[in-house]
Amino acid sequence: MNSKKFHLKNFGCQMNKLDSGLLFNALSSRGYVHTDKAGEADVIIINTCSVRQHAEDRVLSHLGHIKHLKKTHPALLVAVIGCMAQRLVRNICQNCKAQFKPDYDEITALGLAGYIARDQMLWKGRGCDHCRQTGYYGRTGIFEILPYDTEVKEAIRRNVDLADLRSLVRRKGVRSLMDDGMERVIRGVTTYEEVLRVAGGSID
């Protein structure tokens, strides 16, 4: 009997190359043979940990690519191992932090009116010796995570349209990098300039 074949698709950072290596060894030790051709595989594993915006878009569009394989090969197993995007933003310096009222025309022009109310007070660092006059001290991560749960797995197993899969993920309340970052702006952790700098491309 022929060995089962697996195809391991890795995209992302060094860390998940290590994870892929572990999976590769685990499957090999169970008698699976790796193939470079997704079309011949019995199992397709997608390992992703994108550091760009819209982490879930990357994995969902890849699932779209392999959808036709599932049609011609219904027994094919497709697995996704996590999906998270992360960016680092600078924290407002706690030593010189001060409230200010942002210019709402600017907020609107930047496309942030959905996040910041007209009378919302925000915070920024005035600059001090502690932060070397930058107004920032330390960093914090903002995240976007695809919950690869039973409902998402079931949708993939049922081979739903990519558009339906996207709307399912949105309905599940997946927050984008912008959503997560702007919440930290409202809480006075960082500034909208910082969030736009690292996640600006992710505005829908």
Contacting residues toward Zn ion, per CB under 5 A:
93, 95-96, 125, 128, 130-131
Rounded CA separation 200/2 (Å) = 49
Rounded CA separation 162/188 (Å) = 37
From the CB of 26, what's the least distance to Zn ion, in Å?
Answer: 49
- Tokens at 103, concatenated: 């210019």
From the CB of 91, what's the least distance to Zn ion, in Å?
Answer: 10
Rounded CA separation 107/133 (Å) = 24
The three-state (H, E, C) secondary structure of 68-115, written as one string? HHHHHCCCCEEEEECCEEEEEEEEECCCCEEEECCCHHHHHHCCCCCC
Rounded CA separation 189/111 (Å) = 20
Alpha carbons within 13 angstroms on the beta-carbon side of residue 28 total 9
From the CB of 98, what's the least distance to Zn ion, in Å?
Answer: 10
From the CB of 29, what's the least distance to Zn ion, in Å?
Answer: 54
Nearer to Zn ion, 96 or 142 (CB): 96
